Amino acid sequence: MRRSWFLIIAATLGFLFLYIPIGSLILFSFNESKLVTVWAGFSTKWYGELLRDEQVLGAVWISARIAFASATLAVVLGTLAAFVLVRMRAFWGKPILRGMTTAPLVMPEVITGLSLLLLFVSMERMIGWPAGRGMVTIIIAHTTFCLAYVAVVVQSRLVDMDESLEEAARDLGAAPVRVFFDVTLPVIAPALVAGWLLAFTLSLDDLVVASFTSGPGASTLPMVIFSKVRLGVSPDINALATLIILVVALGIVIAGLVMRRK
């Protein structure tokens, strides 16, 4: 009995620690007052305010496009990497490839951002592409680190997959490409969806790498929020944050459900 009380208290404290900040943020997004710390009654006016803020809406649109593009690219490249890592026989370059694919998971974001910035600058000087920095460079940057996450998710699914499924399909008369689309893809599809959602939220969320690789006219949502907050926290930012939390939570729940479905 004592044990279970201990567990309940531990769980409660843990949850409070995690969610009080988020809870207060959501609560104050419905605050009537302009002062963030003073409660003056329930209101949704900051949400209305938000919808009239051109700068924020523009940033939402840019971030969404970047997240969509980099998640999609990351799924394609990450899946290819996972295939090589799981299916290819051991060769001298395989440990290196494995290390390189997972490095962005543990690399400090500042370093990822800085190195990409240096790369883009020198590429522009040498081959003239990418010309200046903006959405394209952010997409490339986000793809590189999202790819690592996708590769991890897809790898675990591929390892679990019975390879004789593919052999069975070939045995029944399907050529290799056909086998991929008829059997492999449907079997690993949940991992692809989960990987895409994960990459999407990671990209949406990123401030550091985007700041390094962005250029004029390509401010992502986190960048806009950050610059606004530096001038003082305003309640419409709370409203915006609440909406982002909603989107991210939805993404995580969907990813979880998709992964659970066998």
Binding site for another protein (CB under 8 A): 162, 164-165, 167-175, 178, 182-183, 186-187, 262
Q: How far is the CB of 56 from another protein (least distance, A)?
A: 42
Q: Quickly list DSSP for the chain.
A: -HHHHHHHHHHHHHHHHHHHHHHHHHHHHTBSSSSTTS---B--HHHHHHHT-HHHHHHHHHHHHHHHHHHHHHHHHHHHHHHHHHHSPP-TTHHHHHHHHHHHHHS-HHHHHHHHHHHHHHHHHHH--S-SSSHHHHHHHHHHHHHHHHHHHHHHHHHHS-THHHHHHHHTT--HHHHIIIIIHHHHHHHHHHHHHHHHHHHHH--HHHHHH--TT---HHHHHHHHHHT---HHHHHHHHHHHHHHHHHHHHHHHHHH--
Q: How far is the CB of 179 from another protein (least distance, A)?
A: 9
**Nearest by Cα to 146 from 117, 115, 97, 112:** 112
Nearer to another protein, 179 or 221 (CB): 179
Nearer to another protein, 167 or 229 (CB): 167
Q: How far is the CB of 21 from another protein (least distance, A)?
A: 42
Nearer to another protein, 54 or 162 (CB): 162
Q: How far is the CB of 193 from another protein (least distance, A)?
A: 14
Nearer to another protein, 130 or 190 (CB): 190
Q: How far is the CB of 162 from another protein (least distance, A)?
A: 6
Q: How far is the CB of 194 from another protein (least distance, A)?
A: 16
Nearer to another protein, 5 or 91 (CB): 91
Nearer to another protein, 52 or 261 (CB): 261
